[in-house]
Homo-oligomer: A and B are copies of this chain.
Amino acid sequence: MRKTRLDTARILAARQVIDPVFLDTPLYRCEALEPGLGCAVSVKLETANPVRSFKARGTELVASRLAGQGARDVVCASAGNLGQALAWSGRGRGLAVTVVASRCATPAKLDSIRALGARLELVDGDHELARERAADIARRDGIRLVEDSLDIETCEGAATIGLELAAAATPFDVVLVALGGGALATGVGHVLKAMAPGVEVVCVQPLGAPALTHSWRQRRVVTTDSADTIADGVAGRRPIPAVLDDLLLVADDAVLVQEASIIAGMRMLLDHAGLVVEPSAALGIAAVLEDRDRFAGRHVVTVVCGSNVNLDAYHRWVC
């Protein structure tokens, strides 16, 4: 049988490297959400930490390894959350961090990257162009390029969420994970398939940025010419072949949701759970809203993966 690139023993070991402030995040039932969704709902909350997303689980591994190797610099392309997380993890280990982002990225995320002391370079274009520019810098300067979802540390970091879910006191039936580059889905999926194989792993992507979902369905890389979604954290166009291979092994399904459902999900998380979240963190709720019958009577866990959102836009969407 084919195996993913991930290794459960390495993921367990990763817990020893990641700052505990990012581990053992809250996992709890939100009964107030349930009448509106028709199923039992628990939230795995990845926003109550210094970077307000799960991404630091991975950047802690990257930065720790680089520091151990005596490296001084690191660069990544980021729509925001990876950049913030790498800036935080790098700062703590004396690394000079460069983040390349699209000029259209969420201002709140860019401000945070700067505040954390990273050098920020903006490109005119979308995230895929930022990826190219970051790769150029890495080649030119001979420094490590961190590629989200391709680099195994980013998947292993995300996978530590899977360990925590597998250890949950209350059993659950389904986990809903945002699908962007694929690190979260392949990481969580790998661990659950190994440790809680009865749990259905459902990946959720915006209809406006469907490349990896189409790729999963067609079992081959499908790119798109554009991505059009408010869920900036998952707006990729060019899936990474190795990540798709892993996703084919661990995802039970990949579904696409409309923008209106993402907004409705954000609104429900505010109204009934008191949570301000970024759009990608509402993808799971959006998936339930679009297919209540599928989840009726089951216990779903949705990973609330980030809360870095521009509040002006948030209020426009939600209020």
Measured CB to CB, the residues of A under 8 A from B are 20-21, 24-32, 43, 45, 47-50, 52, 112, 115-116, 169, 270-271, 274-276, 307-309, 311, 315, 319
Contact B49 A28 (CB under 8 A): yes
Q: Which residue of B lies closest to A112 (CB)?
A: B32
Q: A270-B311, A276-B270 are in contact. Are A26 and B48 (CB under 8 A)?
A: yes
Q: Enumerate chain B residues within 8 angstroms of A27, measured Cβ to Cβ.
A: 21
**Could you list 20 examples of A-B contacts with CB < 8 Å?**
A20-B169, A21-B27, A21-B28, A21-B169, A24-B24, A25-B26, A28-B49, A29-B50, A30-B50, A31-B115, A31-B116, A32-B112, A32-B115, A47-B274, A48-B48, A52-B274, A270-B311, A271-B311, A274-B309, A319-B319
Report the nearest B residue to A22, measured CB to CB. B28
| Residues of chain B lying within 8 A (CB to CB) of residue A307 | 274
CB-based nearest B residue for A30 = B50
Which residues of B are found within 8 Å of A30, using beta-carbon distances?
50
Among residues of B, the one whose C-beta sits closest to the C-beta of A49 is: B28
Contacts of A28 in B (CB 8 A): 21, 48-50
User: Looking across the interface, which residue of chain B has its beta carbon closest to that of A19?
Assistant: B169
Q: How far is the CA of A155 from the CA of B162 in the complex (A)?
A: 35
Chain B residues contacting A270 (CB-CB under 8 Å) are: 276, 311
Chain B residue contacts of A275, Cβ below 8 A: 276
